[in-house]
Structure 1
Amino acid sequence: MKKVSLLITILFFVLQSCSSDDDKSVVNENIKQPFDVKYEVIFSEGLKEKRNYTVIEYGSESSSENYFLHNRVKIGDLSKTWTHSFTSRVAKMPMFLVVNTNIEPVSEGNVRFKIYVNNKLVQDKTTTVSPRTDILIEKFFGASYWVNNTK
């Protein structure tokens, strides 16, 4: 009986590892330069901001010591998906990709962050947001991904 239970458990894990999910595609870790990056930020329907705008920061870095976000935009219309795409040509790898926001909603909702590398989804994270009283302190949250180039 123990052997049958063990066999069923092993079979379950093998079948789970073989299942595919197109929304959870993984980029091959051996990525050659140049490669394409796309960020998406999707706000749940009806989500409203306390201020007139929401800040989205996005960027990358190529050193594990120096993180930086080289772009910051303000958006006012949360009903549209925000996207930004670029082609990376950095000489130094690995490369850290990040996108985040500091939304201050008037009601509860969700913010979904997606990062694509070479048109493959590598990060898909959804965060629930609620109204806060300490809006004087910026609170950023989002998604990140390390792109490696193993030669």
Structure 2
Amino acid sequence: MAGNKTKPSGTGVDAFLDAVTHPGRRADGHAVRALMERITGEPAVMWGPSIVGFGSYHYRYASGRQGDMCRIGFSPRSANLVLYLRSFPGYEALLDRLGKHKRSTGCLYLTRLDGVDMAVLEELVRRSWEASGDIDEGPAR
């Protein structure tokens, strides 16, 4: 069985964020890092080559696959700033007030931070961080 490729890499977060070529995405990355560090009280850590993560949890699927992953994180991708948060059930009212975004099960896609309500984003990150504290295994796969 192949191991999880997304694990703490030891790469410097500052160097990673400073190397983001798009100036707006770079600035947004630094802003989200500061927001997540403030909310979590955890230092930013590189998970794999492109995810800035905070905290960690261990997961184990019914299939036997297991590993560790950051509790929350983000990546300044070329098309979007992607936030890796816990799922969004019950967050609809907040998401309706967030501003322009897309989402999938555990990802929130933002084009630019200046297009979202930062107080709402902060609340989403806070709720996700608090909800992820109870994780001890992932869904069956």
The question of a shared fold, defined as TM-score above 0.5 by the shorter chain, is answered with no
Query: Whose strand fraction is larger, Structure 1's or Structure 2's?
Result: 1
Q: Larger radius of gyration, structure 1 or 2?
A: 1
Query: Whose helix fraction is larger, Structure 1's or Structure 2's?
Result: 2
What TM-score results when the alignment is normalised by the length of structure 1?
0.27
What TM-score results when the alignment is normalised by the length of structure 2?
0.28
